Structure 1
Amino acid sequence: MGEEITTAKEAADDGLVLAFGRLLGAANRLEYLLGRAIEEECGISHLMYEVLLILAREGEAGMPMRAISREQVLTTGGVTRLIDRMEALGLVARGDNPDDRRGRLVRLTEAGERKAVEATRVHRENIERYFVAPIPAEHREWFAEDLRKLSHAARDAIPRLR
């Protein structure tokens, strides 16, 4: 799969290691820039925004907490605390789950719907500025499709969290 690496310098200069490091660096910097804008302009964290989008895709019926934790790679305790904060802000509501007496469904409230729209307007503007504009126009569709493939492959490789 490549030449044997025998020194730290060779390890540091390895093309695959460098490429992956650049991917992580870009993702971390973009997460910071875009997340900070959502926090400053909309008053919610980027993680809350992502949960709003997940729930919006699910529709009025709502979504079990476990499914949210799987989508966001959070523990069930982590998602419970997040949903607690979102519920306190009036963005989501919990209800009974007709398919699981012990489980609860989480759904968007009207305020959550409005916040998702507001945050998306801010987010799209910043995605265009920091994520799309630096990529040549002829590469954008290809790049987006490859990111989708990477995301799905990684998601499918992660065991379900309890």
Structure 2
Amino acid sequence: MAGRTEITTAKQAADDELVVAFGRLLGAAGRLEYILGRAIEEECGISHLMFEVLLILGRAGEPGLSMTAIAREQVLTTGGATRLVDRMAAAGLVARSADPDDRRGRLVRLTPLGERTAVRAARVHRENIRRHFLEPLPAAHRERFMADLRTLSHAARDALPRLR
């Protein structure tokens, strides 16, 4: 990649090829999250974050996940996850039950309504991902793009300090 080896002015910083490229990545991700999240809200009546929790619980299956596990998956505080799950339970999307391995713990699992909502939202989301995320790219680049995203995601995950 061409580019300067040293940044000495704010203008150089603002115009640096790598800085601009990363800014574009963040900008595209933010705009896509907004577009796709709004579609889920409008068509399914849930937030994108709720949809992500439905997916996490769907992946986990029975008997469910602890609040700590949900928080860790979504990079939320336990309190934030609790408030989100409270709203989801009030909407009938999830239910809590006793944790058989921890007498004080509770597990969260999908309800039948949560299962149906996850499926409906995933169909909406998948179509919007195709339309807004893949279709703008040349067809010949899409498979490689998806593989490159996987590589970036794994590299970033591996660079994070281990959470306790």
Which interval holds the TM-score relative to the shorter structure?
A: over 0.9
Cα deviation digits, residues 44-72 of structure 1 (max 9, x gap): 00000011011101112211111111111
Cα deviation digits, residues 96-131 of structure 1 (max 9, x gap): 112222322111000000001111111111111100
The structure 1 segments of at least 4 consecutive aligned residues displaced by more than 3 Å after TM superposition are none
Identity %: 73
Cα deviation digits, residues 122-160 of structure 1 (max 9, x gap): 111111110010111222122112212222333340542
Q: Structure 2 regions of 5+ residues with no counterpart?
A: none
Partner of 2:100: 98
Query: Contact 2:4/2:16 (CA < 8 Å) preserved in 1?
Result: no
Question: Partners of 1:62 and 1:146 in 2: how far apart?
Answer: 32
Partner of 1:149: 151
Partner of 1:123: 125
What is the one-letter code of the residue matched to 1:107? R
Length-normalised TM-score, structure 2? 0.92
Question: Partners of 1:57 and 1:71 in 2: how far apart?
Answer: 11
What is the one-letter code of the residue matched to 1:96? A
Q: Which among 3, 19, 22 is matched to residue 21 of structure 2? A: 19
Question: Partners of 1:99 and 1:151 in 2: how far apart?
Answer: 33
Number of equivalent positions:
161
State the superposition RMSD in angstroms: 1.6
Q: Structure 1 regions of 5+ residues with no counterpart?
A: none
Length-normalised TM-score, structure 1? 0.93
Question: Partners of 1:91 and 1:158 in 2: how far apart?
Answer: 33
Partner of 2:52: 50
